[in-house]
Chains A and B, each alone.
Chain A
Amino acid sequence: MSQANNEAVLAADEAENREFLVFSLGEEEYAIDILKVQEIRGYENVTRIANAPDFIKGVTNLRGVIVPIVDLRIKFHLDNVEYGGQTVVIVVNVADRVVGIVVDGVSDVMTLNPEQIKPAPEFGVTLSSDFLSGLGSLDDRMLVLVDIDKLLTSEEMALVDSTSNR
Chain B
Amino acid sequence: MDIADFFDTFFEEAEELLADMEQHLLELNVDNPDIEQLNAIFRAAHSIKGGAGTFGFSVLQKTTHILENLLDHARKGELVLRAELVDTFLEAKDIMHEQLDAYRNEEAPNQEAYERICQVLQQIALEEIGQTLDAPVEAAAPAPVVQAEEPAKASAGQNQLIVALLNVVEKERTLLVEELEQLGDVQSQSGDEKCYEVILSGDVSADDIEAVMCFIIEPEQIEIRVASGAPATAQEEAKSTPPPAPVTPEPATPEPEAARPPAEAKKAPDSSTKSKKAAAESSSIRVSVDKVDQIINLVGELIITQSMLDQTVSDLDDQSVGNSSLQNGMSLLQRNARDLQEAVMSIRMIPMEFVFSRFPRVVRDTAGKLGKEIELVTEGKSTELDKSLVERITDPLTHLVRNSLDHGIEMPDKREALGKPRMGKLVLSARHQGGNILIEVRDDGAGMDRERLLTKARENGLSVSDTMSDEDVYQLIFAPGFSTAEAVTDVSGRGVGMDVVKRNIQGMGGRVEIQSKKGEGTNTRIVLPLTLAILDGMSIKVGGETFILPLSTVLESLQPTKDEMYAMAGDDVVLKVRDEYLPVIAVHEVLDVENAITDPTQSIAVIVQGEGRRYAMLVDELVGQQQVVVKNLEDNYRKVPGISAATILGDGSVALILDITGLHRLSRVKKEASKVINNQPISLYKEAEPS
**A residues in contact (CB < 8 Å) with B:** 45, 47-53, 58-61, 63-68, 97-99, 125, 128, 130, 154-156, 158-162, 164
Contacts and interface: CB of A to CB of B under 8 A. Distances in A.
Contact of A164 (B638, B642, B685): B638
A128 B688 CA distance: 13
A159 B637 contact: yes
Interface string B569-611: 0000000000000000000001111000000000000000000
Given A50-B592, A51-B640, A67-B636, 11 more contacts: A50-B593, A59-B633, A66-B631, A66-B632, A66-B635, A66-B648, A98-B636, A125-B690, A128-B690, A159-B637, A162-B686
Interface of B: 297-298, 300-301, 304, 545, 590-593, 631-643, 646, 648, 651-656, 666, 683-686, 688, 690-691
Nearest to A95: B636
Specify the main secondary structure of chain B where it touches its partner.
Answer: loop
A52 B637 CA distance: 11
A47 B591 contact: no
Contacts of A98: 636
A61 B646 CA distance: 10
A63 B638 CA distance: 19
13 contacts: A45-B651, A51-B592, A51-B666, A59-B637, A61-B304, A64-B298, A64-B648, A66-B632, A66-B637, A97-B637, A154-B688, A161-B634, A164-B634
Contact of A50 (B636, B642, B686): B642
Nearest to B685: A158
Nearest to B666: A51
10 closest A-B pairs (Cβ-Cβ)? A64-B297, A50-B591, A156-B688, A47-B654, A161-B638, A68-B637, A155-B688, A158-B685, A45-B653, A97-B636
Contacts of B638: 158-161, 164
Nearest to A69: B637
A129 B197 CA distance: 73
A50 B166 CA distance: 71
Contacts of A99: 636
Contacts of B654: 45, 47, 58-61, 66
Contacts of A48: 545
A63 to B, nearest CB: 5
B300 A51 contact: no
A63 B648 CA distance: 10
B443 to A, nearest CB: 45
Contacts of A164: 634, 638
Contacts, number: 97
Nearest to A161: B638
A99 B298 CA distance: 19
A156 B685 CA distance: 9
Contact of B635 (A53, A97, A159, A162): A97
A71 to B, nearest CB: 15
Nearest to B632: A66
Given A49-B656, A154-B688, A63 B636 contact: no
A110 B350 CA distance: 51
A147 to B, nearest CB: 15
B635 A51 contact: no
A68 B638 CA distance: 9
Contact of A51 (B298, B636, B641): B641
B301 to A, nearest CB: 5
B655 A47 contact: yes
A132 to B, nearest CB: 15
Contacts of A97: 635-637
Nearest to A64: B297
B683 A65 contact: no
A49 B636 contact: no
B302 to A, nearest CB: 9
Given A45-B653, A51-B641, A68-B636, A63 B688 contact: no
Contacts of B637: 49, 59, 66, 68, 97, 159
A39 B237 CA distance: 64
Given A50-B591, A158-B685, A65 B545 contact: no
A66 B631 CA distance: 7
B297 A66 contact: no
A48 B544 CA distance: 11
Given A64-B301, A66-B632, A59 B646 contact: yes
B444 to A, nearest CB: 48
A98 B643 CA distance: 20
Given A52-B640, A61-B654, A66 B591 contact: no
A155 B592 CA distance: 23
A59 B631 CA distance: 12
A45 B635 contact: no
Contacts of A66: 631-633, 635-637, 646, 648, 654
A57 to B, nearest CB: 12
A58 B593 CA distance: 13
A156 B687 CA distance: 7
B196 to A, nearest CB: 50
B591 A51 contact: yes
A158 B655 CA distance: 21
A123 to B, nearest CB: 12
A63 B298 contact: yes
Given A53-B685, A154-B688, A155-B688, A61 B640 contact: no
Contacts of A159: 637-638
Given A59-B633, A64-B301, A161 B656 contact: no
A60 B649 CA distance: 11
A152 to B, nearest CB: 11
Contact of A47 (B656, B666, B688): B656
Given A51-B591, A97-B636, A63 B301 contact: yes
A45 B653 CA distance: 6
